Structure formats: structure tokens, C-alpha cells
Chains A and B, each alone.
Chain A
């Protein structure tokens, strides 16, 4: 075996070991490296009331209500299954906070099972749609995009 082949084998073995070690580390970190918990994770393993956690999910359509004091809102966050967590928040809402869109709430569960948020972050999804396409049917939107796109035949 030539020296360069020996070096190639050595480097490949080192890379396999490195990738293996990293996969094990990523696997072990799976639950620790999450930025927030989904509602179903909170339902399955509820955190202690008063413990600071982040809750993330979708703002349930039709659940957003403004209370009489004018600054407090309540809404429900839903996850990938049917679980939903009621949330209460007093403060300024981020611009992108709307029903049916993603949100991350920082706060704690109270003893009644309501999540009391100190801070809300709006989560943007992966879709980028220009303003004039909003409210159009998908077919119309596709035609409009075709007409306005330059140089992408």
C-alpha cells in the first residue's frame, strides 16, 4: 500500500469516527437542544407550575380574545395533534402575530393549566408570498407570479 493510500484510509476512518460521535451527540441532545416545547410535549410531560419554559405552536384560529383591560389577550396554541394550551399575555403584540400563524411564548404554566406569557415571539414560516397575491386563488396567484417574474422561463 502506497503512503497516500494509507493516509486516505486513515482520514476516512477518522471521518467515520467523527460523524459517528457527532450523530450520538445530536441524538443525546435531541430534547435538550429544542428552543421550545410543542403543546403535545407540555401535555405529555407538564412542567412544574411556575417553572420558566417556552411554548411554541400555531395560534388557533378564532381563539384570540382581547380582555376588557385593553392590554391582556388570551388565545390557544395548538401543536401537531389535537392538544391545545390556553395562553394569557399582557403587553405589545409582535407585528406578525396573527391567528393561524406560528408563535413562541416565554413564560410559565399556572396551577390552572393556563400558560402565562411574559414575552411573545412571532415565528415566521418558510413561505414568502408577495402582498398582491394574498387572497387570490392558487391558480390566479400562479398566473400572476408567471406574469410578473422576469427571466425565469
Chain B
């Protein structure tokens, strides 16, 4: 663990892992979406609308997974003070927000023909919207901390606090009566027919690889930023 916390070793690893993960992710996602949109039969009740699941479910899981990554990285940063952990948390914020927004928009497009409404304030939809707001707040807080030169500990504490929303999103359809259906995929069981499940799992892996590639690319950009800043400061000191 300490080995990978070394920025130099991380950069060497990320140098090839970033393009590898992005390319594999894009190829796999494209294949899964072609499979899901062209080769899978329509659903018994929903008809063609069912195909939205191949974008909606992976982005929903990754929206929640992104904040889980922020929370774990924040914990590592707060306790062990690894600077790379704070950078990982910042790197996951923007892709997490984008995936959460894609999940909300695709869900809304699916809800209109299926439920008969674009939006309702039930437990699942509301807690997912709260997640999008938490991401936006976290990004703003991180940028403000950087600009004002405040410690990254404040965004890290916020990242840890916000994690409480993740189990609420997950359990919202079980604890409360909601318009959103209960989970289709639980430990070892699936209420989704294999015809839909196989391309769905392929899309989940593909989108996850894209997510990981974007996080790595953002971490490299943040590290490069920090190095450039340090070099400029050193040159300014030498010029005096």
C-alpha cells in the first residue's frame, strides 16, 4: 500500500494503465451497447424502453461507487495522511457527478413512458438527486480549499460525511414505499432475464473501466499541476 502511495511509482503505473483502461472500457462499452440496443429482444411490458437499463444501471452503480471511492480515500487521507489519497478523492468527483447526472436523466426518460411521469419525489429518486448535489458541493469545496490554500482535510471530512447517503440510496426502495422498483439484482440472485443480464454486466464492466481511466487521467493532471506549481515557486525563489 505504501509502495503505491509514492507519486513517482504511481505515475509510472498510471502512465500505461490510463490509456489501457480507457481503450478497453470504450471498446467493451460500445460492444455492450450495440448488443443491448440491437440484438436483445424487447421487454414483455416495457417494449423497447427496456434498453435504457444498459446505460441507467451502470451509471447509477458508478455514481454511488464514485462517492464510496471518495469516502475511502478521504478516510485514508485523514488517518494516514497520504497526499495521493486526497488526489484520488478529487479525481473521482467529476466523473462521479457526470455518471450520477446521466443516471438521473436516463431514469427520467425511462420513467415518462413506463410510470407516466418524468419525476416523482420518492425515496430513491430524491436520495439520488441529493447525491448529485453532494458531488457538486464537494467539487466546489475542493476548488475553494485549493484556491484559498486551506488544508485538504476539510473536503476529506465532507467526503466522509456524505458517504451516509450511499446506504440510504441503496436501501431507499426497501425501507420506504417508493415508485422506483425494488432491487432486481441482489446477492447471487437476479430478477432480470439472462437475455438482458449478460449485456448489462458487460456494460457495467465497460463503464467501470472508463470511470477508472478518467479517474487516473484526472489524478495525473492534478499531480502535474502540483509539480508545475512547485517548480514555478522554486524558480521565483531562485530569481530573488
Chain A residues close to B by CB (< 8 Å): 4, 7-8, 11, 14-15, 18-19, 22, 26, 30, 33-38, 56, 94-96, 98, 101, 104, 119-134, 145-146, 148-152
- Please indicate the chain A residues that have their CB under 8 angstroms from the CB of B89 in the complex: none
Q: How far is the CB of A37 from chain B (nearest CB, A)?
A: 7
Pair B79/A37 contact, Cβ less than 8 Å: no
Most B CB within 10 A of own CB, among A56, A120, A122, A129? A129
- Please indicate the chain A residues that have their CB under 8 angstroms from the CB of B116 in the complex: 94-95, 119-122
- Please indicate the chain A residues that have their CB under 8 angstroms from the CB of B53 in the complex: 128
Chain B residue with the shortest CB-CB distance to A22: B164
Bound CA–CA A126/B182 (angstroms):
6
Q: How far is the CB of A152 from chain B (nearest CB, A)?
A: 5
Instruction: Name A35's contact: one of B41, B123, B181 (CB within 8 Å).
Output: B123
Pair A30/B175 contact, Cβ less than 8 Å: yes
Chain B residue with the shortest CB-CB distance to A98: B45
The answer, yes or no, to whether B27 is at the interface (CB within 8 Å) is no
The answer, yes or no, to whether B183 is at the interface (CB within 8 Å) is yes
Instruction: Name A4's contact: one of B80, B113, B115, B178 (CB within 8 Å).
Output: B80
The answer, yes or no, to whether B234 is at the interface (CB within 8 Å) is no
Bound CA–CA A18/B167 (angstroms):
13
- Please indicate the chain B residues that have their CB under 8 angstroms from the CB of A98 in the complex: 45
Bound CA–CA A101/B164 (angstroms):
33
Bound CA–CA A18/B53 (angstroms):
33
Pair B198/A152 contact, Cβ less than 8 Å: yes
The answer, yes or no, to whether B23 is at the interface (CB within 8 Å) is no
- Please indicate the chain B residues that have their CB under 8 angstroms from the CB of A125 in the complex: 181-182, 191
Residues 35-58 of B at the A interface (beta carbon under 8 Å): 35, 40-47, 50, 53
Per-residue A-contact encoding for B112-123, CB less than 8 Å = 1, 0 else? 011111001111
- Please indicate the chain A residues that have their CB under 8 angstroms from the CB of B197 in the complex: 149, 152
Q: How far is the CB of B173 from chain A (nearest CB, A)?
A: 9
The answer, yes or no, to whether B176 is at the interface (CB within 8 Å) is yes
Residues 136-189 of B at the A interface (beta carbon under 8 Å): 160-161, 164, 168, 175-179, 181-184
- Please indicate the chain A residues that have their CB under 8 angstroms from the CB of B191 in the complex: 125-128
